[in-house]
Structure 1
């Protein structure tokens, strides 16, 4: 490992960290900025934190930053702790009726599928799963799988921008258009998208979009956003009902008022986000309108190259086209297909204990036990070469 490569980060130099996609990694300068905000809070707690004092202008600076990065209207943005909370807020507020169907996919994030299932059970609705193939050859297979699962009872749809288990970028523009053409509300779980992919919500026009700050934007943990089209904002309640429900001055709209104040909380993860994005923009500077375009290109090219190393070493076909990758890639390992849960855990343990790799190894379905790699600025191609050697020994 190259120590200077890790200097801006706190990742242990003896750890082959190929799992940025799970919780991200926060740079030193961002943590220092977060601590700065925490110190200011403790120096004058009421002035800093009370919504009727100076909290809201600080949150609005972050809101403006997020809006600029994702090409959205600040008025439509509220803050949540993470994308799972954003999904919960929407699906638990949505007025489901008995007999309604919610459409999800088999590539969805388990926590969010659980939230959808609980809301459906409570309303007497049902959850329908569109089975997208994996391995996959073309984005049209995604559209076909979802289109074939739509019925007259489909009222609401949850899709991922980038799938967590399989690491593929879904054709969300086509899927949003498909949903709207069938009079279906659509929510996009964009947990991985900001910082990985260019985003323009003004063009995409999802009814709801939620994402994390801590993943590919590298913000401190416990920070995310929820964007809701203005026509639907009055329907959406935060998971915690607090003073904003009936107190003036907590935000310019009832929507933001309710989300701005969940009760006493630490806003420093939110307030440090602009520093995180500025840091990322400095790594691969570009004159492109999207100031993270250079970093996105670097990470995409690195994960493609890293995946190619693994596929060639293991003599495997690509499980998804390179055009469907961002900076994640999932590879099914045929030699592990018949592994028991204990054997999968043993592989995971050996990669960590014997080879010092941190990355997900998991069963996706009956036919696929997979590993997933991430690529961020602190990773190198040599790490994927070492991983390929380790996986070959365990296969």
Structure 2
């Protein structure tokens, strides 16, 4: 990547006008909760007004067709059939739905990694304790040299007792893209089910869930797809759907309907809630895909180029080595902070209070080592990352 990337003409992104983000804040943390564009929020407001004008008419006569339309378009985006998808409010709920539905024994091993998202790891621990199963953790090094380091670390922990593997598609802590397709293929060859925590992947990577071949996959639409908060999905392979139930059991469990699967009947209605975030997914796909001439593929590449250039610049300014190859990052990148910066107390708070920079500082395992994770969405510009570099250098020099 040439250094000219950081001398782009647009130092303030023209695309920021489409977001409500505070103009006084340098927002480099799209990865945590996403940020929804104004046109999508306006659509959600219209849909909420439609709901509230006649709630009974909406839920009894309109809701299901709107849900099916959103599911159809999301399925096309993900490379699956609508029958394989249900909506959930977030990826953690999807992971919980799978884990709480399955049965295990004290002889079973449930394999995960040291990069797994804390909420999903808690769910795995809870289920393992309930059934007396054993949680096995594959320790993936960080820094690392190649995707093979991930693959080898996980496969080395598989035994004849391994019943399920819970893995990230993209690690929240380190931003690493796991070699998912190769890993899933190996697990399928061994007859081991896979549960993928794909919270960050939709909209950050081109996705075809059919080609990936996971048994279960849960992903968020409110992060890189930029739908409203509370929009996520759960994919379940058709031969496994009869075993899976939502965390909330409601009317679908004994519905007499035969026009759709029990899987969808149970998940589609889990009690009264605001479903408008789901209905906005098609427009989010359309809007985000319209921002650049090359559509989604160009947007994904644009964000990737931005974060790679920012990572390079920051590593040079801070005199630290890059912790992984470029091929292993998408729209987020993590830098291991140098010792001088790690010693700064409440670093994330200081960056926010003194410089109005929003960026996560992440403790890594039980080590004194701290990571800084930057995100790149199309509203970010090179000047955002320059401000971060300047702020870090100023903090280092402060008495």
Alignment-derived partner of residue 3 in structure 2: none
Bigger shift: residues 273-282 or 112-121:
273-282
- With over 3 angstroms needed to count, the CA separation of the structure-2 counterparts of 1:207 and 1:22, relative to structure 1, is same
2:313 corresponds to: 309
Q: Report whether the alignment pairs 1:180 with 2:191.
A: no
Change in Cα spacing, 1:338 to 1:302, as seen in structure 2 (3 Å) is closer
Please, which runs of 5 or more residues in structure 1 have no aligned partner? Answer: none
What is the aligned counterpart of 2:90 among 82, 88, 107? 82
TM-score, length-normalised on structure 1?
0.95
How far the C-alpha of 1:54 sits from its partner, in A, is 2.4
> Alpha carbons of 1:24 and 1:251: their partners in 2 closer, same or farther (altered >3 Å)?
farther
Supply the distance in 1 between the matched residues of 2:200 and 2:98 (Cα, whole angstroms).
19
Distance 1:318 1:36 in 2: 46
Q: 2:29 aligns with which of 19, 22, 31?
A: 19
- Counterpart of 2:78? 70
Matches of residues 211-290 of structure 1 in structure 2 within 5 Å? 211-249=219-257, 252-286=260-294
Matched, 1:31 2:41: yes
- How far apart are the structure 2 equivalents of 1:248 and 1:200? 33
Alignment match of 1:195 (pick from 199, 203, 221): 203
- 1:182: how far off? 2.1
Cα–Cα, structure 1 residues 196 and 250, in superposed 2: closer, same or farther, change >3 Å?
farther
Kept in 1, the 8 Å contact 2:112–2:166? The answer is yes
- 1:191-241, Cα deviation, whole Å (9 max, x unpaired): 101100000111111100110010000000011000000000011110100
- 1:66-215 map, 5 Å: 66-215=74-223
Q: Deviations over 1:284-341 (max 9, x none)?
A: 122xxxx4101001000000011111001011111011110100001111315864xx
SS of 1:283's equivalent? coil
User: 2:53 corresponds to which residue?
Assistant: 43
**Unpaired segments of 5 or more residues in structure 2?**
1-10
Within a 5 Å distance, the mapping from 1:353-392 to structure 2 comes to 353-365=353-365, 366=367, 368-392=369-393
CA distance in 2: counterparts of 1:392 and 1:333, whole angstroms:
12
State the match for 1:295 in structure 2: 299
What is residue 6 of structure 2 aligned with on the other side? none
Q: Give me the whole-angstrom Cα distance separating, in 1, the residues matched to 2:239 and 2:28.
A: 41
2-side partners of 1:285 and 1:65: how far apart?
21
| CA apart distance, 1:248 | 3.0
Query: Which protein, 1 or 2, shows the higher relative CO under an 8 Å CA cutoff with sep ≥ 6?
Result: 2
Render the CA deviation track for 1:173-205: whole Å, top value 9, x for unaligned. 011012112221001111101100000111111
Q: Distance in 2 between matches of 1:55 and 1:250?
A: 18
Computed over aligned residues only, the root mean square deviation of the Cα atoms, in angstroms, reads: 1.5
Q: CA 1:168/1:116 → structure 2, altered by over 3 Å: closer, same or farther?
A: same
Measured against aligned partners, the alpha-carbon deviations of 1:39-89 in whole angstroms (never above 9, x if no partner) come to 111112111113xx2221110111111111110111010110100000000
Distance in 1 of aligned mates of 2:47 and 2:259: 21
TM-score, scaled to structure 2: 0.94
Q: Is the 8 A contact 2:169 2:196 kept in 1?
A: yes
Shift of the 325–338 alpha-carbon distance from structure 1 to 2, 3 Å rule, reads closer
Paired with 2:166 and 2:258, the residues of 1 have a C-alpha distance of 30
Q: 1:210 to 1:362 in 2, by over 3 A?
A: same
The alignment of Structure 1 onto Structure 2 pairs a total of residues equal to: 385
- C-alpha distance in 1, partners of 2:116/2:387? 30
